[in-house]
Structure formats: C-alpha cells, structure tokens
Structure 1
Amino acid sequence: MRTSDQTPRTPRQHIGAELRRLRTMAGVSGRQLAQRTGLSQSKVSRIERGDALASVPELTHWLEQSGAIDRLEPLISATEAALNQTDGWEEFAQEVSFAEMQAQVQHREATARTQRSFLPTLVPGLLQTAEYARLVFIASDLRGEQDYAAAVQRRLDRQQILYDQTHTFEFILTEAALRWRPGPRELLIAQLDRIASVATLSNVSIGVVPLDVEAQTIPWHGFTLNEDVIDGEPFVQVETMHAYLTVARPEDVELYRRQYAVLRESAATGQHLTDFLSALRAELKP
C-alpha cells in the first residue's frame, strides 16, 4: 500500500508537515502566509511537502504568522539536521514505484536552472534512450514488481526539460559509462547516437573522461549538482547502492563543485567528444 502522499516519511517531510499544521491551526491559508512573509506560494508549497527547507529568517516569519514562535529553536535544529538527507532504497521502494520516483525527480529538476551531472558507471537518465532506460529499470528492480513501461514513459517525460532554453545542463561521463552495455551492441550504438544528438543543443554540454587520460581525482560515485534553484538553495543528488542522498549543507555542496571542476578539466568536449563517439560507434559495429 502506497502511503507516501499521506504520511511524512523523511525529516524534511516531518518539518513540512509540522509547519503546515501550525499554519492551519492559526487559521492562515497558504496564500496569506506567502503574502505576509514575502515567500512565493510555490516556496510555501515546497516547504510543506518537504521538497525544500526554510531558512532561519523564513522560519521566523512563518512561526510569527502562525502564532508559534516558541517552536523556532527546535525547528531550526531539525532543519539543520535535515540539510543532508538519506532515503533508504528498501523503504522508499515499498512506498514509491519507479514511475513515481521519476515524477519526484522531474519535480526537483524543474526547480534548478542549472544542472551539472557526473556518472562513472552508466548513461544518465536524461540522456537515455527508451530501450536503454527499460533495461536499466529491469536491472535495478531486484523484486521484479515494477511497471517498466510506466517508469520508462516518466523518464522520457523528464527529458523534455532538455529543450527548455531557460535550463542549462552539463553532463560528464567516463568512458566506462559509455561502454557499459545492458543489451546488444545495437542498443549501445543507438544510445551513442542519442548522446551525439543531445550534445548539439545550445543549452547542453556533454563531456567524456577517456580511460587513457591521467586521473586528476577519484571518481567515487555519480552525483548531480543543482544550481540556480528557484526559491531555494543549491543541492546535490547522489544515488548509492543502499540509499538516495540529498545534500544541501553549503560546505558539502562546495566539495561537489570542486570535484566537478576537476572532472571537467579531464573531459573531452565539442569536436573531441564527437570524434570519440564516432570511434566508439565504429568499434561496436559488426
């Protein structure tokens, strides 16, 4: 039974639910709170859903308008603790389907004007072909209970944001990620063609770190750095084997910025990327 829409599950959702409860008890609507605090209505909604955290000044104004300023200190402490959030996959998968996960990620992506992604093991979701995505979902579903068609459609829906010129995307992949093949050679050839096509978009930059370049840093794991966040602060998304991490603590976000900058220096882009993709494609052809 899916309960994620009704029951707070994460620390951020608990904070949002408490702020909504205090606002409602004070007889203040979301619109009124937004007007009185200077927050946008979308920011109020995102905070109450647990998609965003309020700053200390925002919390102060919120609680003043809710007649609950005595709750400020514990909510500040809870907010600081929730800056870096961990969602366990096992629990998450029991409540949210792959398709619903894609919808949640799509909502987050819409709030970031600039995204910088690094993947060392496979092609990122925004660049995947439908068949590549289907096989990735199958490989990820250890229970064998997911609706792959629905998940693939949601992932393709997410990709429409690539054509929105108000958003900027940077992708860095390793050569190993481009060579990882969840299906036949023809599948990977089609995937390389997709990457080459998306790389022509003016708001998209794609780079690949070849295996034969000297390593300047250790590619510990993939991550997506979200900058220029609408009504919010920068945050990083990290997928590990056991959990999905949301990193928002400023000093930690800065670590990811520095890591990305070093990776970018080693990546082949532009014509070098085109030549690399062509060579790999020729190697794969029978």
Structure 2
Amino acid sequence: MSDHNQTPRTPRQGLGVELRRLRTLAGLSGRQIALRTGLSQSRVSRIERGDALASVPELTRWLEQAGAIDRLEQMVAATEAALNEADSWHEFMRADSFADMQETVREREAVARTQRSFLPTLVPGLLQTAEYARLVFIASDLTGGQDYAAAVQRRIDRQQILYEQGHSFEFILTEAALRWRPGPKQVLIAQLDRIASLATLSNVSIGIIPMDVETQAIPWHGFTLNEDVDDENPYVQVETIHAYLTVSRPDDVELYRRQFAVLKKAARTGQQFSDFLNNLRSELLSGD
C-alpha cells in the first residue's frame, strides 16, 4: 500500500493529506480527532487516505478542533470539486501494484452494504475463478512487471465478503461478458460453474442480458453502485481504459441508479439465468 508521504494522486487524497497535516500540527492523534468530532476511527482513516470525503459538518468540527476554522470555505470548495474525480491508471500504477489495488478495493467494499454492478465485457472480480483472474491480470498488465500470484490471492481474499449476510450484491452481465474468453474454453467452463455456485447464495443476485433481448439502455460501460455505505453517501466506481473514476455527486449517482434499474428490467434472473448458463456450458462442451 502507498504511504502517507507519497505525493497525492487525486483531489480526494490531497484533501486527506491536508486534513491529516492540520490534525498533526494541532498535536492530535487520529483517535483524539475521532473522539472530538464524533467520527469513528475508521471514518477518520478513510478521510485521511482519500477513500472518503468529509461532509461540511464533519469538516467544520475537524477544522475547529485543529484550530484551522479559517480554512473552512477553501476546504468546502475543494471537497465539492472532488465529488467526481478520475485517478489516472498511469499514476496509480506508479504508486501501487495490482495486489495493492485489490486491497484498496477490498477496503472500499467492506463499508458498502449493498453493491449493484453492471459488467458488459467480462466477469466481475468478485465472481472470478483464480485462473480467470490470473489471465485478466496478465491481459491488464501493459508493463509486464506485476506479481500475478499476489494479485490473484488478494482478489480471491476479497470474495470472502460474498458470504457475509450483512452485505448484498446484484450483478448484471451481458451475454458478451459471459462469452469473453481470456484463455482456453476450459477456463470459461470453470468460470460458468463458479458463477452458478455463487448465484445460489441468498444475498447474491445475478442476471444476464442475452444478445437477442430488447433493452432500453445503452451499455456504455461497466460500473458499480455502492449503497448503504458506512458513514458515507452512495458512490459509483467506474473503470475506463485510462482511469479509475469515483462518482459521488448525488445527481450523477442517481443517473447510474436509473441506468441500473433499466438494465435490470432486461436481465434474465432465477431459473431463466440458470438455463442460460447451462445452455452456454453445453455449447462450450460440445464445440470443437
């Protein structure tokens, strides 16, 4: 994991570094600022890491305790500007390995009680088999210098959250996502079996949008909508070819919420989903 001494990559991280600096200058520990502001220690840590943005009341209490209330207007403006941000993969990869990135994602997933994900191109990380994940990491590594074994292990470790009843998950995939093959067809067959197994969990819902079904939503790109977040407002994570986006502005989050609802209407779930998986599996087994 990157440490606090590294140059902030994003506005969120810059805000977190500055709040930590002001707290330290005031001679306060993380525990002390938590007690004095009424925040949990985990919330303080997430704010200082840049994983979360402080609300205006939280900023006010924080700056009051740090003796820097004169910075409030400036910090509020910076927070507003950071609600939607892009973290460049180029800068990200200079600071963190694939394995570190998995740990960062795991920490974010731990505080979201409800996740709704749409993936139009490949199986989401939480549902991947180890071999599928390894091949995805290889395909994603443009420099060739990553530790794939460590990254795969961290991704598999992340999947433990699927078995926690305090968390619920909705996944919507396109047929293209299920058919994409990062390796031999045996890899994809094993991946389909893994999905079928996870779909039996009571807190996991998986749907498929077949290629021949009508839908009123354009599948622009994948995204994950995080709801019921501990001490934080809902937010959306989007991975593009050049950057990792975090969307927190309420109006924009609502756009993703509505998009997911439209996609969900077109998805086949339950027995229809199981039948689709079985037919695709049989097709792969009987093919050349």
TM interval, shorter chain, is over 0.9
Q: Deviations over 1:166-203 (max 9, x none)?
A: 00000000000000011111111110000000000000
CA distance in 1, matches of 2:226, 2:75: 25
How many residues are aligned here?
A: 285
Amino acid corresponding to residue 115 of structure 1 in structure 2: Q
Q: Deviations over 1:64-116 (max 9, x none)?
A: 11111000011001101111110111111121111111010001000100000
CA distance in 2, matches of 1:38, 1:241: 39
Q: Which residue in 2 is equivalent to 1:47? A: 47
2:115–2:226 Cα contact (<8 Å) kept = yes
- How far did 1:4 drift? 5.2
Q: Which runs of 5+ in 1 are unaligned?
A: none
Q: Which residue in 1 is equivalent to 2:102? A: 102
CA distance in 1, matches of 2:186, 2:231: 43
1:4–1:96 Cα contact (<8 Å) kept = no
CA distance in 2, matches of 1:95, 1:44: 22
CA distance in 2, matches of 1:25, 1:42: 21
CA distance in 2, matches of 1:212, 1:149: 38
Q: Which residue in 2 is equivalent to 1:269? A: 269
Q: Which residue in 2 is equivalent to 1:218? A: 218
CA distance in 2, matches of 1:232, 1:179: 36
CA distance in 2, matches of 1:15, 1:124: 30
- How far did 1:28 drift? 2.1
> Secondary structure, in 3 states, of the residue corresponding to 1:47?
helix
CA distance in 2, matches of 1:96, 1:49: 14
Amino acid corresponding to residue 98 of structure 1 in structure 2: F
Larger displacement relative to structure 2 (23-32 or 117-126): 23-32
Q: CA RMSD in A?
A: 1.1
CA distance in 1, matches of 2:27, 2:154: 37
> Secondary structure, in 3 states, of the residue corresponding to 2:212?
coil
Q: Which residue in 1 is equivalent to 2:122? A: 122
Q: Deviations over 1:133-179 (max 9, x none)?
A: 00000111111111111110010000010001100000000000000
Q: Could you tell me the percent identity over the aligned residues?
A: 76
Ranges of 4+ aligned residues in structure 1 off by more than 2 Å: 2-6
- How far did 1:32 drift? 2.0
> Secondary structure, in 3 states, of the residue corresponding to 1:285?
helix
Q: Which runs of 5+ in 2 are unaligned?
A: none
Q: Which residue in 2 is equivalent to 1:6? A: 5
- How far did 1:37 drift? 1.5
2:9–2:87 Cα contact (<8 Å) kept = no
1:228–1:234 Cα contact (<8 Å) kept = yes
1:111-190 correspondence runs (5 A): 111-190=111-190
2:43–2:231 Cα contact (<8 Å) kept = yes
CA distance in 1, matches of 2:193, 2:33: 49
Is the aligned partner of 1:38 residue 2:45? Answer: no
Q: Deviations over 1:188-235 (max 9, x none)?
A: 111000000000000000000010011211000000000000111111
Amino acid corresponding to residue 56 of structure 2 in structure 1: V
Q: Which residue in 1 is equivalent to 2:79? A: 79
Q: Which residue in 1 is equivalent to 2:246? A: 246
Distance 1:29 1:3, change over 3 A: closer
TM-score norm. by structure 2 comes to: 0.97
Q: Which residue in 2 is equivalent to 1:24? A: 24
CA distance in 2, matches of 1:241, 1:278: 32
CA distance in 2, matches of 1:54, 1:44: 9
Distance 1:3 1:117, change over 3 A: closer
Amino acid corresponding to residue 213 of structure 2 in structure 1: V
